[in-house]
Amino acid sequence: MKEKFYITSPIFYPNAVLHVGHAYTITVCDAIARWQKLSGKEVYFLAGADENAGKVAKAAEAAGNDIEEHLEAITDAFKDLYAKLDISYDQFIRTTDKEVHWPGAIALWQKLVEAGDIEKRTYSGLYCPQCEAFYTEKELIEGKCPLHGIELQKLEEENYFFKLSKYTQILKEKIESGEFVVLPDTRKNEILAQLERGLEDVSFSRPVKSVPHGIPVPGDPSQVMYVWCDALTSYMSAVGYGRDEEMFEKWWPADIHVVGKDILRFHAAIWPAMLLSAGLPLPKVVMAHGFVLSGGQKMSKSVGNTVDPLELINEFGADAVRYYLLRKIPSFEDGTLTYDLVKDAYNGDLANGLGNLVSRVLTMSEKNLSAPVMPEANTIPEAFIEAMNRFDLNRAANIVWERIGELDKKIQDTEPFKLVKVDEEAGKKIITELALELYTVGRMLNPLMPDTSKKIKQLVKANKKPEAPLFLRKD
Ligand code: MSP
């Protein structure tokens, strides 16, 4: 029996098409999913859309669209992007799906009620419609949303509350002991500091009259579930919670939730508290990555500094975009992306670097070796394995390009194309080594640049030089 590995991407708001910041998140998930598969695990990779958010309905209205058609069109655009980026997801969950998602959301709500953790209260608070979250006065920056810098809405409502505060201490213990892993350490410390200050109970529903879309609260149709309560539950409903016990048993708990650092609090405090309340196992790891910046700020629709991933894919190809995201954006910190930076990386590291190496090695081997080389099993270096297992994709990609640099140097130092003419045996030996090492590069590229990986491995196995350069230089 294969070990299982369940990985989730955040489910994105379909209020607009995805930009490169979102493409980054899903690419990180995909690289991890492919790596785990390559390491022999049975992988389940969840993607999806968070459709019951107030801002999603507003975007549809503003565009003058019927909400269902709008959701259909945008989620189709998400899937189109994933296909073009070679994202190997297994399921795309939509939170408007009454068969797949709603039974799980309702079942979990009932568990929270049974635990005595849901309580009706009158509440007045400050709501950010961009974050879809309440803030307290002390969290504001100059009276505005700390993330979006916008004025908040003053809401006074009757809501159901989730008794989050109750779970402060136990969460702290589970994070500190490493039973529930938050990566990287900087984010773990951030969440521990929040726990140290104490968690406040959260409003977990909204009146249906102010938020018409959403999952009705069981037993009270005048209220719909708070969108984050609904959205987080999709990680379980997708794998059968509330409708397919066997599937749920097989996949839950998640092995990793990959998220951006802005939504860490939801995943490392609210979500595990909900699970503890329901008596369900916690996810093993929550990994928070940094932001893709553009013009020095987080790339986002509200700032207006977005880059369209499709434009980059059309120009440079999916693997080049994946390369940039995985190698040039540090895995646990912020990094910058602009069109020109992608182009420079493409020309430097892919056309001149990798592409050129593939041509050089295979031109020599096709000419001088009478048969293809025979790669051994398990040639991936330990340092690469270790980096991938730590989800440090950026480090792993650096290891591949260090190797590419070493192979270039080996060719330069030994000049095998000249050596074969004076000492055939010695020249062929070096060419064989180079072809085998190129195959290992191809193997390491599997999770990072799947198409390029496949091409390199096929060429080495056929002992053929590429008919055209793998990456054509762009001027
Ligand atoms: N719908 C919620 C997630 C619910 S998960 C149960 C949400 N959606 S989102 O569409 O706003 O963003 C989803 C993810 O995209 C977040 O992890 C966020 O960090 C990530 N990113 C959005 N812009 C980004 C960058 N500029 N850079 C990196 N990640 C970015 O939040």
- Which residue among 94, 233, 263, 331 has the greatest number of ligand 1 atoms within 8 angstroms of its CB, and so is best to mutate? 263
Catalytic residue IDs: 19, 22, 128, 131, 145, 148, 298, 301
Which ligand 1 atom is at minimum distance from the Cα of 271? 6
Question: What pLDDT does residue 123 have?
Answer: 82
Q: How far is the CA of 470 from the centre of ligand 1 (A)?
A: 32
Q: Is the pLDDT of residue 133 over 90?
A: no
Q: Is the pLDDT of residue 117 over 90?
A: yes
Hey, whose CA ends up nearest to atom 5 of ligand 1?
10
In the 8-state DSSP scheme, what is residue 87?
-
Rounded Cα distance, 162 and 270, in Å: 9
Three-state DSSP at 124 gives strand
Model pLDDT for residues 158-190, shown as the tens digit of each residue = 899 999 999 999 999 999 999 999 999 999 999
Decide if 130 contacts 243 (C-beta within 8 A): no
Q: Kindly provide the residue ranges of all beta strands, DSSP E only, lying in 170-316, ordered along the sequence.
A: 181-183, 202-203, 205-207, 216-217, 220-225, 256-260, 285-289, 292-294, 297-298
Tokens linked to 383 = 């340092």
Q: What is the pLDDT of residue 49?
A: 98
Percent of the chain with pLDDT over 90: 89
The fraction of the chain above a pLDDT of 70, given in percent, is: 100
- The whole-number pLDDT of residue 163 equals 98
As given in the structure block, the two tokens for residue 29 are 């998930």
Beta carbons of 265 and 191 less than 8 angstroms apart: yes
Pocket around ligand 1: residues whose beta carbon is below 6 Å from it? 10-13, 21-22, 24-25, 50, 231-232, 259-260, 262-263, 291-292, 298-300
Q: With a cut of 90, say whether residue 210 has pLDDT above it.
A: no
Tell me the mean pLDDT in the region 369-390.
97
Question: Would you state the pLDDT for residue 61?
Answer: 87
With beta carbons less than 8 A apart as the criterion, state whether 234 and 266 touch. Answer: no
Distance of CA 290 to the CA centre of its chain: 11
Give the domains, in start order, of the chain with CATH numbers: 338-462 (1.10.730.10)
C-alpha 75/C-alpha 16 separation (Å) is 9
The pLDDT value recorded for residue 313 is 98
CA of 475 to the centre of ligand 1 (A): 33
By the 8 A CB rule, do 437 and 400 touch?
no
Confidence of residue 442 (pLDDT cuts 50, 70, 90): very high
Global pTM exceeds 0.75: yes
- Of the two residues 213 and 76, the one the predictor is more confident about is 76
Tell how far the Cα of 260 is from the centroid of ligand 1, in angstroms: 6
Residue count (the chain) = 475
Ligand 1 site-directed mutation target among 7, 51, 239, 262, most atoms within 8 Å of CB = 262
| Angle, vertex CA 342, rays to CA 338 and CA 344, nearest 5 | 115
Q: How far is the CA of 137 from the centre of ligand 1 (A)?
A: 24
Instruction: Determine the Cα–Cα distance for residues 32 and 333; give it in Å rounded to an integer.
Output: 17
The answer on pLDDT for 413 being more than 90 is: yes
Q: State residue 209's pLDDT score.
A: 87
What number is the average pLDDT over the span 294-320? 95
Q: What is the pLDDT of residue 87?
A: 98
- Looking at residue 1, its pLDDT comes to 86
Ligand 1 centre distance from Cα of residue 299 (Å): 10
